[in-house]
Amino acid sequence: MTDRRETHRGPRRMSKSSAPAKRTTRTPPDWSEGERIAKYLARAGIASRREVEAMIERGEVQVNGKKLKTPAFKVTGREEIRVNGNRVRAPEAVRVWRYHKPSGLITSTSDPEGRRTIFDELSKALPRTVTIGRLDLNTEGLILLTNDGGLARAMELPKTGLPRLYRARAHGKITQIDLDRLQDGITLDDGTRFGAITATLERETGTNNWIILELAEGKNREVRKALEYLGLQVNRLIRTQYGPFELGDLRPGAVEEIPGNLLRNSLSDKIPEQFLPAEREPQRRQNKPPVRSRVHRPKR
């Protein structure tokens, strides 16, 4: 991208006796502060990054009155951006919600087989959100939702090291010594490699066992496959924690927003600054009751 420069229609002639005019220069935009247009529009809730890139190819995106020709373009938020003629509002502040996913729902925006998804069940009062990680059809428990795709990707990365905790009910015979085999990681017959998993035998109930597991990768069906590797058959699986955020007593189907200051304080040592909510300036103490996060209750 080239910076905009002022131009003149023709050379300006000056007499020898006249003093040179003082030239004024316009400070070019500091693009280091900007972000890619696709990311900006995704944060603004227009569409996913890939969908935005397709919109740009179709000529549907304008910046300051000019049709954008390439997604390799940065914006600072001070521009006038339009999509199909409609002006785009600035993205909202970064927000995250806890959601108790019931068993039997797909963690995606749509399903080719027509099965119900979590987005079919979520309150329409919520803004456009994406999930941080996934849970399979029959797994229940904590899913984090966010309106910022960058934060979602940062939290999902294995190198970020956010632990995922599960409680599994599994059929079969097992000992703690058997479970300890998962600590060094395992390789399945198909070559799939799982990293270290900490598994603790909580209790036995007849032919079933309740097992607590902690892992940091969260690969597809990782807990189920790891326990099957040990000869167990999982018949119930609940995610109880993702990073520092716990399921707690949140009812199945309910959604509760995590306050921005708590989100920032909980993730500041793991997540880059640009993905976190802006730090709020301290406010004067007032004699007002504390504000509680709004809980969206499940449909009945």
Could you give the residue numbers annotated as active site? 136
- Specify the DSSP element, H or E, that contains 68: none
* Dmax (CA) of the chain: 105
DSSP tag of 179: H
Contact 122, 255 (CB under 8 A): yes
Strands 139-146 and 186-187: what pairing? unpaired
Tokens 């304008």 — which residue? 62
Phi, psi of 202 (to 5 degrees): -80, -55
Q: 254: which 2 tokens?
A: 């309910």
Cα–Cα nearest to 106, from 98, 116, 97: 116
Parallel, antiparallel or unpaired: strands 164-171 and 208-215: antiparallel
Q: Exposed e or buried b for every residue in 142-159, given b needs 16+ CB within 10 A?
A: bbbbbbbbbbbebbbeee
Is 296 within 8 Å of 255 (Cβ atoms)?
A: yes
Residue indicated by tokens 């921005």: 260
Q: % helix / strand / coil in the chain, to the nearest 5? A: 20, 25, 55
Sheet with strand 86-87: strands edge to edge = 66-67, 61-63, 81-83, 86-87
* Residue closest to 257 by CA, chosen among 206, 291, 213, 208: 291
